[in-house]
Amino acid sequence: MSEAPSKLQRDAARAIVTRCLKVRAGENAIVESWDHTLPIATAVIDEIRRAGGRTLHIHEDEDAWWHAIDRRQSKLLGRASAPEWAALKASDLYVHFWGPGDTDRLEALPERTFEEAIGWFSPWYEAARRSGLRGARVTIGFATQGRARQWKLDRARWEDQILRACLTDPAETAKRGARLVRALARGKRIRITHANGTDLEVALAGTPPRLHDGTPHPRNKRYSPTDMLAQIPGGRVDVALDARTAEGRIHANRRTNIWWFWSDGGTLEFSDGRLASYAFDHGGEEFARRYRHGTAGRDRTGALMFGLNPAVRDVPNLESIELGGVTLTVGRNQHLGGANRSSFMNWVSLAGAEIAVDGVPIVRDGRLL
């Protein structure tokens, strides 16, 4: 028998269903899970039914998935079945929990094998857009035993931190974000400073900022085509940068997590709009490898992400939503309406900075002003 959901998992599930997705009676929902996320997935199913919705549970068995990988059937895994495509077309809602849970094996997979195994990704989004689907991808699936061991974390505490962040009301996040959106919409230049030596000036691209409050935005032309799924927990404002302007340095004091690649202690130096140098306490070799293979625009700033979630403080995989924190991306920003189409994208996160738009402070010591 599977482990029963804890009270915190049930509370998080109720917040996801009622506050983030706002499930209505009669709606059809797909809930997709793996072994390590089964307890909270069952709690979400229960809450959808409590709201009067109908559910289909798609469960990916960990052992069966790895058996297919061992048989070199990664391309087969990358093609969803006909019944799943049919269910997707008939659904109103979708809730996804990341997997697989054996991230030690996942990190050891050849990149080509991994790409083949997730070959369903792009066609899935195309089908979801056509159906008007709204839903969520829930970060709790990233909190695995392997990553906790690798990053020297207490997994139970890490899971609790992510679940508590799911309890943040998107309505309150939206109120906080609205102030930032107004300032960024009319601003031109941003300066980020911190006692750790950060002093960076960048320019805004003039595209509309995007508020990610923890709710999905299907068929909303102001958002990316993938934003019919909200990342939960959520809470941030994203804005594209003008790639021609960047001067100074930023030194990260939060870990960066991109799929299974992670870095720590990153310092990026910019001169005359270009990335002039970079260094990391951890993860520098992988950053350099990806950077070498990146296309034009890899050395330009991409975007800024401002955190809005008050329940997050130095939580791995949630760096970009920490209240008062700022994340700088380098490379591609076309998903935000920018002109940078580089194949490269990476980022560093900083908490506790002072941030000013056209000389007017908007964040100080991790507080929104």
* Residue at 130 is within a domain: yes
Q: What is the pLDDT of residue 1?
A: 46
* Residue at 82 is within a domain: yes
* Residue at 153 is within a domain: yes
Q: What is the pLDDT of residue 106?
A: 92
* Interatomic CA distance for residues 203 and 239, integer angstroms: 11
Q: Are residues 193 and 115 in the same domain?
A: no
How many domains does the chain contain in total? Answer: 2
- With beta carbons less than 8 A apart as the criterion, state whether 309 and 321 touch: yes
137-157 tens-digit pLDDT:
999 999 999 999 988 999 999
* Residue at 217 is within a domain: no
β-strand partners of 97: 138
Q: Are residues 125 and 205 in the same domain?
A: no
Q: Are residues 183 and 311 in the same domain?
A: yes
In order of 45, 49, 226, 228, 310, the CA distances from 31 in angstroms are 7, 12, 18, 15, 27
| Burial category of 81 from C-beta neighbours within 10 Å (exposed 0-12, middle 13-18, buried 19 and up) | exposed
SS (H, E, C) the chain: CCCCCCHHHHHHHHHHHHHHCCCCCCCEEEEEEEHHHHHHHHHHHHHHHHCCCEEEEEEECHHHHHHHHHCCCHHHHCCCCHHHHHHHHCCCEEEEECCCCCHHHHHHCCHHHHHHHCCCHHHHHHHHHHHCCEEEEEHHHHCCHHHHHHCCCCHHHHHHHHHHHHCCCHHHHHHHHHHHHHHHHHCCEEEEECCCCCEEEEEECCCCCEEECCCCCCCCCCCCHHHHEEEECCCEEEEEEEEEEEEEEEECCECEEECCEEEECCEEEEECCEEEEEECCECHHHHHHHHHCCCCCCCCEEEEEEECECCCCCCCCCHHHECCCEEEEEECCHHHCCCCCCCCEEEEEECCCEEEECCEEEEECCEEC
Q: Are residues 137 and 32 in the same domain?
A: yes
Q: Are residues 302 and 314 in the same domain?
A: yes
* Residue at 219 is within a domain: no
| Burial category of 303 from C-beta neighbours within 10 Å (exposed 0-12, middle 13-18, buried 19 and up) | buried
Q: What is the pLDDT of residue 203?
A: 97
Domain boundary, last residue among 138, 166, 194: 166
Q: Are residues 81 and 189 in the same domain?
A: no
Q: Are residues 181 and 283 in the same domain?
A: yes
Q: Are residues 242 and 288 in the same domain?
A: yes
Q: What is the pLDDT of residue 219?
A: 81
Q: What is the pLDDT of residue 262?
A: 79
Regions of the chain with pLDDT less than 50 = 1
* Residue at 226 is within a domain: no
Q: Are residues 127 and 181 in the same domain?
A: no
* Residue at 225 is within a domain: no
Is the Cα torsion angle 215, 316, 303, 308 positive or negative in sign? positive
Domain boundary, last residue among 139, 166, 193: 166
Q: What is the pLDDT of residue 289?
A: 92
Closest CA to 225 of 320, 128, 135: 128
Q: Are residues 15 and 120 in the same domain?
A: yes
Owning domain of residue 82 = 7-166
Q: Are residues 192 and 317 in the same domain?
A: yes
Predicted model pTM: 0.93
* Residue at 223 is within a domain: no
Q: What is the pLDDT of residue 221?
A: 78
Q: Are residues 254 and 135 in the same domain?
A: no
Domain boundary, last residue among 166, 184, 202: 166
* Interatomic CA distance for residues 240 and 337, integer angstroms: 7
The CATH number given to whatever domain includes residue 73 is: 3.40.1830.10
